[in-house]
Amino acid sequence: MMDINCLFCNIPTDRIISESDYTLTIRDGFPVSEGHTLIIPNRHVKSFFELHAIEKAAVLQALEDGEGSPGQ
Ligand SMILES: [Zn+2]
């Protein structure tokens, strides 16, 4: 669900590291450390805790997938 006002719906494709059915993993535009990465759920929610169980699992899987690969 695209939202014209959403920063993450309009992310430059060169910042996308990986995608899944429920998540988007991107390089942070203003990294505070090397390899600073954001994992964004596809569905617009205010908090991680509003996600459905399958979406939370996908976020955690994306986190696991990115572990140990700073600056990927
Ligand atoms: Zn969005």
User: Residue 8 C-alpha to ligand 1 middle, in angstroms?
Assistant: 5
Please give the pLDDT value at position 69.
63
User: Residue 9 C-alpha to ligand 1 middle, in angstroms?
Assistant: 4
Please give the pLDDT value at position 72.
46
Contact 59/32 with Cβ under 8 angstroms? Answer: no
Please give the pLDDT value at position 7.
86
> For the chain, how many structural domains are there in total?
1
CATH number for the domain spanning 54: value is 3.30.428.10
Residue 28 lies inside a defined structural domain of this protein: yes
Full residue range of the structural domain in which residue 29 is found:
7-66
Please give the pLDDT value at position 35.
86
Residues of the chain with pLDDT under 50: 72
Residue 61 lies inside a defined structural domain of this protein: yes
Please give the pLDDT value at position 2.
77
User: Residue 33 C-alpha to ligand 1 middle, in angstroms?
Assistant: 24
User: Residue 40 C-alpha to ligand 1 middle, in angstroms?
Assistant: 9
Q: What is the pTM of this model?
A: 0.82
Residue 72 lies inside a defined structural domain of this protein: no
Residue 53 lies inside a defined structural domain of this protein: yes
Please give the pLDDT value at position 29.
86
User: Residue 20 C-alpha to ligand 1 middle, in angstroms?
Assistant: 15
Contact 22/42 with Cβ under 8 angstroms? Answer: yes
